[in-house]
């Protein structure tokens, strides 16, 4: 490529950056949200958790195993999440609205704490110490300020030998005022998450094509139970937002789909995914026993606005209907010309 060609390429390609911020409510209170769970510290120091949770790929089973392990003092690999058939398990309500970690995670945490307290009470009697002095971690239980220590497996055996099965149950709900039917005032959500994203794009003014070069995403998730999982949720949300901003054109006419299938429906592929830089902000939630909030849909919300703002920064035209296809960009550029 000679110098003239390089100059022309630089002239036709414009770079810009855009930013967007968002908030998202979790745990509705205008209508009652709730979740229940059962927990048992079982033979061998293992833990059984039963709840009606639905795993749809977001990693909630891993999170619940981590929560139960921390609360009972066992290892995540020793936790079994039981059948989620609501005919045999407590209700956990739906999988959506970024509520899984917040609602079901807290229910599992509280149930696990109750099971642990039952176990601690019996072991405290066995050791003749105060239950408040007991601690458990990584499959062991001990009494602070002493040499008393044993495995969780031995502790469960002693507890059962004394006629008690260490089980717990709990329900967690969102507490709010509801909405006043007259003026709409109230507390529709129990907690909120916040996020900001910055997008850098390059726009080809000859073809209208937009390439997203990078996304910087900072999100408040409360306490991050599984930081790698949080990053995965943010990255997945960003890719969805990129598709919404630039590619996916789902057409409806009078409520009926006119998009017939995926054959010509453009979706982001691995080649379209830019460098995504995640920043996890842990503003712990005081209303949550886990101090966690959530991150699912909130990761998607700021992406498209940030990209559209970046396009405006690059070429000075505002796209007001998604997706920002090359045809729309070229049409906007032609209108901009004198």
Cis status of the peptide bond prior to 251, with omega within 30 of 0: no
Q: Which residues of 38-77 are buried (b: 16+ CB within 10 A; e: fewer)?
A: bbbbbeebbbbbbbbbbeeebbbbbbbbbbbbbbbbbbee
Residues with a catalytic annotation lie at 297
d(CA 27, CA 35): 11
Four-point Cα dihedral 182, 187, 193, 199, nearest 10? 10
- Alpha-carbon 168 to chain mean position: 26
E strand or H helix at 235: helix 227-246
């Amino acid at each position: 490529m000679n110098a003239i060609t390089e100059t022309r390429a630089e002239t036709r390609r414009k770079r810009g950056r855009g930013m967007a911020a968002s908030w998202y409510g979790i745990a509705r209170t205008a209508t009652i949200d709730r979740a229940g769970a059962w927990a048992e510290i079982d033979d061998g120091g293992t833990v059984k958790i039963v709840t009606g949770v639905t795993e749809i790929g977001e990693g909630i089973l891993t999170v619940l195993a981590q929560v139960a392990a921390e609360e009972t003092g066992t290892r995540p690999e020793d936790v079994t999440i039981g059948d989620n058939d609501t005919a045999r398990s407590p209700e956990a309500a739906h999988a959506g609205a970024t509520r899984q970690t917040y609602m079901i995670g807290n229910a599992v945490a509280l149930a696990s704490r109750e099971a642990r307290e039952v176990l601690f009470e019996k072991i405290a009697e066995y050791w003749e110490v105060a239950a408040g002095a007991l601690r458990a971690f990584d499959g062991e239980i001990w009494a602070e300020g002493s040499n008393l220590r044993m495995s969780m497996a031995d502790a469960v055996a002693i507890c059962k030998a004394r006629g008690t099965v260490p089980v717990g149950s709990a329900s967690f709900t969102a507490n709010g005022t509801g909405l006043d039917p007259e003026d709409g005032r109230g507390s529709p959500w129990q907690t909120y998450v916040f996020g900001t994203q910055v997008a850098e794009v390059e726009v080809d003014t000859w073809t209208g094509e937009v390439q997203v070069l990078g996304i910087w995403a900072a999100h408040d998730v409360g306490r991050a139970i599984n930081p790698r999982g949080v990053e995965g949720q943010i990255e997945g949300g960003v890719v969805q937002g990129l598709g919404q901003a630039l590619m996916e054109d789902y057409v409806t006419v009078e409520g009926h789909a006119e998009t017939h299938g995926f054959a010509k429906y453009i979706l982001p592929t691995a080649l379209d995914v830019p460098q995504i830089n995640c920043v996890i902000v842990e503003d712990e939630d005081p209303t949550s026993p886990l101090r966690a909030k959530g991150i699912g849909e909130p990761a998607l919300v700021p992406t498209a606005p940030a990209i559209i703002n970046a396009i405006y920064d690059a070429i000075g035209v505002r796209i007001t209907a998604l997706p920002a296809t090359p045809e729309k960009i070229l049409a906007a550029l032609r209108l901009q010309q004198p």
